[in-house]
Each structure stands twice: as C-alpha cells, then as structure tokens.
Amino acid sequence: MAQEFGIVVVGAGIGGGQVVESLRNDGFAGTIALVGADPLPPYYRPDLSKKLMLEDTDPGDSELRGEDWYAAHDVETFFADAATKLDTSSRTVTLASGDELSYGQAILATGSTPRTLDVPGADLANVHTLRSAGDAVAIRSQFGEGRKVVIVGGGWIGLEVAAAARSHGSEVTVVVRDAPPLKAVLGEEMGRYFEELHVSHGVTFFGDAEVTGFTGDGAVETAQTTQGDIPADLVVIGIGADPTVDLAEAAGIDVDNGVPTDERMRTSEGNVLAIGDIANAFNTRLDSRIRVEHWDNAVRQADVAASTLTGGSAVYDWEPYFFTDQYDLGMEYVGHGSGGDEVTIRGDKDSGEFIVFWTKDGTLTAAMNVNIWDVSDELRALIGKQVDTAKLADEAVPLSEL
C-alpha cells in the first residue's frame, strides 16, 4: 500500500531542498516526502565546479541543511532511491526500491542530465561528466602537478574546471567546437576575453575542433580531435545538459524544452508543479517562457511553488542571474542576452574591473559586472529598459541615472 503524503517532491537538488523549506516557512503543516537519487541530502551544486574542485573538502560541507533538519521539520526523506514512475491518475510516485508514495500535490525538481559524447572510447576510465558531488570528488582526485587534463566544451562549467585543474598544477587543454569559448552567450569580444584569461594562466585551446574519440588501455590516454590528438590522463566533458523530463513525459505531462509551466509553476497536469532546470516557465517580466539552469533560479522558483501551494500570490517575474569565479576573476551576470547583441563596456578590460552591457535595438538585455561588487541590484533594475549606449560606457554617469 502506498504511503500517503500531502506533497511529494521528486528531486533532491537545490530546488527540491529549498521547496520543502519554503513550504514549512509558508505554513504548510501537511506531510512532505523528499525523493532523490543522490545519497546525500540536498547540497549547493555550484560548489561542484568551484569549492569542491579547488579544495580537499567534504561534500557534506556543501549540504543546504543537515539530515537532522528534515526529521525535525517532519519531512520524510528517500535519498539514494530514484523515482521511476509518476502516475497522475492514481497520484502516486514509484521509487527504485519499490516503495510507492501517494500525493495530493507533486513537485518535479529532477534537474538536468549532462550530455555525453557518442564516440569510440567514451566509456574508458577517467572520462567524466560533472553532475554530482561524487563526480566532483572523482575529478579532483585526478588533478595534480603535470597531470594532463582535457576539457571538452568551453561553457561555464568547463572553464571553471579548467581553472581548478590549473590551480592544482595540471596541464590543461580545452576543446571548443565554436571558438571562442562562451561566444553563444557573451559574444565574440567577451569570449576572447575569457579565452585570453585562461591562456594567461597556461591553458591551451583547440578552437573550432571536435572530439572524434578516445583511446587508452582501460583508461583514457589520448583524446582524438579534428585538430589533432591530445595526451590525456583525465577528460571532463562539459558540453551542456538536457532537462531530465523522462518521468513527466511518461506520465503524459506536456514536454517542450523541459516541462512548460505557468507563472505559478503549475504544469499541464494541475496537481503537478515543476521547478528548476526542467521548468520552461512563463516569466511575467519577459512575457515569455524561459528555462534557466542555475541555482538562483531553482531557489526562487521553489519559493514560488511553495507560495502556490500555500495560497500565496508569488509569480515568476525576475531576470536570470548567475556568477562565476575563475582564477582571480569573479563576475555576476544578470539578464537574458545573446552573443549577437551589441556589446558596450564601462571601464577598462585590461584592469580586470569593468561592467559589460548587452543591448538589442536600444534595449538592455543583460549586464555583467567583473570584479566590481554591490552593483547587481542596480544592473538588474536596468534590464528591459531603453538605454543610451554612450551613457552606459561613461563611468562618470552613475548607474542609478542611466
């Protein structure tokens, strides 16, 4: 017989961990189940490519809450026990262990799954993707002086891993299919800036190259690319991720670039909500659906979902935000621009302290502050406004007056 719960949360990442806390904070007094494939309680996943890569730290240090918190707040946990089926007719969730949980409302927070390479040798030892604390520890254990590390992909995670590997003395090569790195997000000029940052720290780039296979005797020894072979003791594949929608799709819930939701995080199935990486949610500020893969979005959507289920009025109405730390560079990015937008820079790039603005047809679409702090709220307030690019570039004009 199924165990009965008022709310079952499927997925114990940042979104899942936050939503159970928000439900309790918002006064939900019913029973809650939190289900996750990972053996650890929810933890701060940005640490995977940052803190856990740089330091010999325990993954438990990144937990959002200790396991005793869930017991103290009457949240029954099912860790290391993935959900295998969602039945919206019977309102049940079946787990890998065979346990069955019934729900009044379900929240899907299943995250995303790293893409892999379908090439010969991809199953060799020491070829990794990065999604869990276990992955991070396994990758970090392979760093070391003179170790040859190949990063496939020039996105944020790939570059953060590259920076961490260099900090441990590894020899790092990054393979980028469409050079420079980050071009699709930041454009050519800022992509080159990040490439030059890494080159200055000893990273080698294979630009406009694709991996065609890996070779080695049990463990990887060589990455084969269209630009030549690269010696490799370790390969980290960072070519993006796909929303994990298997449960939703099999349950008959609408799927389109994730799971479409309204501004209250409800899916096409009224008793099922979706948050985080899988949610292709309607954003009232942008007046369109958008899917964002970042912890800030997952946390804030968790708050909206909790509000929806406790009679509140919160909606999805903010601009996407993320941050990165690479070497001595720290930056925050807010907005939803594209690599094709016009770029305006305030300050001197060579100084390592500047602000970048992206505009389209005179409207500010995104902004990024590099080693300049306490300006993210002002930048966020500018997104979506018509702006004068000359004033954007003029450091004498306060951000508050743009």
Section 224-250 average pLDDT: 97
pLDDT tens digit string along 325-369? 999 999 999 999 888 899 999 999 999 999 999 999 999 999 999
pLDDT value for 49: 87
Given the structure tokens 């899907």, which residue do they identify? 108
What whole-number distance in Å separates Cα of residue 379 and Cα of residue 351? 20
- 85 phi and psi angles, rounded to 5 deg: -155, 140
Strand partners, 321: 334
CB–CB of 49/325 below 8 Å?
Answer: no
Q: Domains plus CATH for the chain?
A: 3-113+242-309 (3.50.50.60), 116-237 (3.50.50.60), 328-401 (3.30.390.30)
Can the peptide bond before residue 180 be classed as cis, meaning omega within 30 degrees of 0? yes
pLDDT tens digit string along 285-324? 999 999 999 999 999 999 999 999 999 999 999 999 999 9
What whole-number distance in Å separates Cα of residue 31 and Cα of residue 4? 8
pTM: 0.94
